[in-house]
Amino acid sequence: MISYSFPGGTAVLTGAASGIGEALAAELAARGSHLALIDRDEPGLQRAGDTLRHRYPDLTITLHPFDLQQTAQIPALAQAVQHRHRRVTLLINNAGVALGGTFEEVSLEDFEWVQSINFRAVVAMTKAFLPALKTELNPHIVNVSSLYGLAAPVGQSAYSASKFAVRGFSEVLRHELAPQGIGVTVVHPGGVRTNIARSARIGSGVQATPAELQAQQQAMNRVLRLDPAQAARIILSGVEKRAPRVLVGTDAQVIDLIVRALPGTYW
């Protein structure tokens, strides 16, 4: 496949109001891409959009407040996006949520909430936008998995299940869509400095005290060190090269090697 060209294209990006998504939006705009930005955080989305519109007045940047848990409404979302943009050349499924607690401590409702946003929304977004992507010469799809889509730690059954699913789904898509000239990249970010630890839902059966939960959150935040802007540049460099897989951060690279070497005993 030839390199992906950003200038003049249109990127549809979920989870665009903060973290890696906001950094991706800024980097895409800097590379000349029009944007359809999606997030359930409407104030944050408006803030991010206003900043980019002021900085890049020649780009078409549309904002679409939407809760991806409502997967049945995603076809209508796709119609709304395509009503505002005459083409879609890049789809980035970046949005995600986290859930703390062992499998015994989380309810099936908690578990299902994670799957609906982290995995089923990825599938539904891809299904909804694939017809538009197929009309382009060299379109691309990016699905953001996780470090926990490479290794499965204790207390992350719902999150790891969703991110391993994204990984498998992306690999199948890559094989199926390559003959049509559509590239697929799966991204595994390591410790990127985002709000995911602070905004994580706690399983309904978790018995930890508020102080213990705060200590766990602080410990997680200490390993989230990589600047989201740097992560965005790494991801889009991979997209430009049509890389099948992008590992973001040294921690992701090291853990990937450990899991490959010790697949049954790495923990």
Give me the tens of pLDDT residue by residue for the chain, a chain 267 residues long.
899 999 999 999 999 999 999 999 999 999 999 999 999 999 999 999 999 999 999 999 999 999 999 999 999 999 999 999 989 999 999 999 999 889 999 999 999 999 999 999 999 999 999 999 999 999 999 999 999 999 999 999 999 999 999 999 999 999 999 999 999 999 999 877 566 555 556 655 665 545 444 544 544 544 556 889 999 999 999 999 999 999 999 999 999 999 999 999 988
Is position 1 within any domain?
no
Which one of 4, 56, 148, 159 is the catalytic residue?
159
Is position 113 within any domain?
yes
Q: What is the pLDDT of residue 152?
A: 95
Q: What is the pLDDT of residue 24?
A: 98
Is position 2 within any domain?
no
Is position 207 within any domain?
yes
CA angle 56, 52, 24 (to 5 degrees): 110
**Residue 56 appears among annotated catalytic residues:** no
Number of structural domains found in the chain: 1
Report the 10 Å Cβ neighbour count for 106.
24
Q: What is the pLDDT of residue 212?
A: 45
Q: What is the pLDDT of residue 190?
A: 85
Report the 10 Å Cβ neighbour count for 210.
7
The pTM of this model reads 0.91
Q: Quick one: which of 134, 248, 148, 228 has its CA closest to 183?
A: 134
| CATH assignment at residue 228 | 3.40.50.720
Is position 251 within any domain?
yes
Q: What is the pLDDT of residue 221?
A: 47
Rounded CA-CA distance 172/267 in Å is 27
Is position 139 within any domain?
yes
From residue 102, alpha-carbon distances to 62, 153, 211 in Å are: 39, 10, 18
Is position 5 within any domain?
no
Range of the domain at 116: 10-261
Is position 3 within any domain?
no
Q: Quick one: which of 147, 149, 150, 144 has its CA closest to 185?
A: 144
